[in-house]
A and B are shown apart, each in its own frame.
Chain A
Amino acid sequence: MDVAKQGAARVGDDPLNGIDMAEAGSVTVDTHEAHGHEAHHEQSFWSKYVFSTDHKMIAMQYMFTGIVMALIGGYMSYAFRMQLAFPGESVPGYGLVSQGEYNALVTNHGTIMIFWVAMPMLIAAFGNFLIPLMIGADDMVFPRINRLSYQIFFISAVVLIASFFVPGGGFGGAWTAYPPLSANAQYNLTPLGATFWIVAVALEFVAFLLGGINFITTLMNSRAPGMKMYDIPMVLWMIVIASILFMASVGPLIAGAVMLFMDQVIGTGFFDPNRGGDPILWQHLFWFFGHPEVYVVLLPAMGIVADVICTFARKKLFNYKLILFTVFATGIISFFVWAHHQFVAGIDPRMANVFTVTTLIISIPIAEMLFLYIATLYGGSIQLTTPMLWALAFIAEFLIGGVTGIFLGASGADIYFHDTYFVLAHFHYTFFPIAIIGFYAGITYWFPKMFGKMMNEALGKIHFWGTIIAFNCIFIPLFILGAAGQHRRIYNFQNFPDLAGLQDMRVFATMALIVMLAFQVVFLVNFVMSLIKGKPAGKNPWKANTLEWTAESPPPHGNWPEGLPNCYRGPYEYSVPGREEDYWPQNAPPDTAPAE
């Protein structure tokens, strides 16, 4: 312990240590660095799996919590889709869905899938796992804050689940929680559920603020010697930019959450126009965060896809810098579009014009990124492995989501489409590729690194085709239903003669949902089977360049116990002419044969 402390103190004395090492250049193994580690000793179950400060273990905690929450969210969608397909009948495995329960299920399905699935799995799990490994560091810069971040996140999940079991049941005012419905128990009939909901969401924000500070600082300060700005793998850029967007946009909503909480609990009137408040203010506070949030979850998925397609097309990322600047542009523009969610909420029509223009503008950088990805694929030697299939599916499916967004961004068309199933299908075509396809692309790609075993390709492909086909079968009918005028948030369409005739399509979509959920069992089986008896992966099964593939699989505590790697080139040097190997690891010193 004393030795370790001295080592740390010595390193800590020189804040410019990293820079000095960068100048030293050829030093791969810096001996005094290795002393900085804790001596390897047997850890108890609790300190190894529950209270660990190791970034990989925290990533696993986030990922498994996310998977559990995804299963809960999926189960909710099953219950309320069954109610829509077979109104009033008892749902197998759930029972009768009452009107209040229906609202609570829809609300919490949305909340869970955004805040407790997309964010922990894409940003927190991959961010925690990849950032230190990809920049050649031994851990995050603040391991204990990292642990605290997960603990707060875990508590927030518990609070959200608990909201279903309090008197009055779970909150049912939609995931956007518009007042006065959310602010007043007289209207929402869930005095405790609504408060639990807002507390859970606020805690989740705190967890991601702590995590985000860690991600940003780690990437900014702790890169391997020699890793310059343009040598950072795209996925890290995107995760960190997403964290910055989150941090910059969430503030007003935290303030709004405090105000809503006080409206609920103390009886203030922040959002009550009869007492000098304004309900529209909440919508602005919410969507000022809510729209950048779309890009907060989109960017990490985009980054995962970038890394996967480069590896499996064996080609350099097409115009790295242009993609990066496009991401910057997306991030900036994403702050100027929020009120397109409020075109029918009674905002000033002149503002609607402004926000229509900015909303249509933001489709340009996104389309540009997709084109750049396709350009990366062009002329590559493409290997259709499971992660590559997911990455390609992301591009195709997200395109549909993006194109249907044009209708909604134009304020005129939005007046008709607003709050119909068209909107619902649109954002599922964006969020499903982001949260689910993006996650599967990432997990199938990095599974060998995380667990040291290969996943089964055959099961992976069965899972892929089953999920993708079923997904389209769910939501294409919903586009048609929405265009026919089917409103969201309706418990039983049989009460509406104009819409009752479209029941067949609702049943079809619900059946497709059940098929899709069933195919997720294939993934879980594949996951567990591969863990138990998958082929050993070795260090670099995909022959990829980035630094995480130079560590052991799975990486030990400290990631590179023999000394942290240096970086000599960009992350996407595939098929470089004149080289025997078609890849060129970032840590291989120049003008020598590839390492190992």
Chain B
Amino acid sequence: MEHRRKLFITLVLAITLLGSSCWDRRELDDLAIATAVGIDQAEDPNKLLMTVEIILPQNVSTPGGGGGQGPASLNIQSQGTTPFEAAKRLTFESDKRIYFAHNPVLIFSEEMAKKGILPAFDFFIRDPEPRRTAWMLVAEGKAQDLINVQTILDPITGLYIEQLIESTGAASQIATLMVQGFLERLMSPTTAPYCSIIRIKGKENNKSMELSGTAIFKKDKMVGKFDYKEGRGLLWVLGEVESGIITVPCEKEGNIGLEIIRADAKITPAIIDNTLKVIINITEEGNLGEQECPIDLTAPEAWQSLERKQAEAIRQEVLAAVKKAQELNADVFGFGEAFHRKYKALWKEQLKNNWDEFFPDLEVEVLVEAKLRRTGTTTKPAVPE
């Protein structure tokens, strides 16, 4: 009796456990893995056009040889009034279910970004499949054209763009943000979101792409653009400069390139004589990277003057970014939140709802402490004595 009961329980468990596991099984060969998602305005003004790049695993070459002929990825498109509707309609064109969990880049066309991305953004936050670690981008022109570019260095366009973004630290002139970071700024009452801008370079059969600046948003609408100099100005304030070259002129002719090694920033809000003021302290360390002029810079006085020039160059970059941001009235630096942290009561009573009136006239003081550490493998310039 006992024996039969045990057999019965085992059977019930085996059937329930094994039988039930079929609902959400997702076999790899039933999935089409999305590696880039682009959102454009469709011709119908009420609809949007979603372009998705999917991997063709059979054509992806492996290091041990093999891999196939033909392109490594395929672009498919669909229209819908919302992104989710468009995403579901992608299956009209694909025999596999589109799987968004590994998507590395989310690209909005400039037109969409200027109209406001919030309506299209919710799906990428709410749905459990797309991840918030995807990079946010604005495409100059149409997102679909960008995704259609056949990239050479990495045959999968989305992964190529991801690599472009992840290596921006080398120059630190373009600010990048993931969906999560964008969302956090979007939810702040004062801080403005930003993301990188990407555009097509070259024509016809020789197309490639490049990051061309930083898109500045006000709430969910793109209002302007930071160029490379302003982009680094923003990164200085955020303390996110990783590396890059600061160019300063020599005494007479030629330039000196100073390599940034590390940098940090501190924002201190203050209220002086009833006016709001922000003090930005930036500390930086650099190396002498290159010089075009034949002067010995290693002499103590020349070295100190070079440090001062370096600090001034950084200051100018920051001021350029601040000026542009104040013109656009978009607080990308998070000055508002800095006041929020320090002046809780004032924030709640006055600043929170009227920040747009305070920010353009905000007095900003930039203090830079820049050090030069090393000279590379040479000391004096390579000139005949």
Real binding pair: no
Spell out A's residues near B (CB within 8 Å).
none
Residues of B within 8 A of A (CB): none
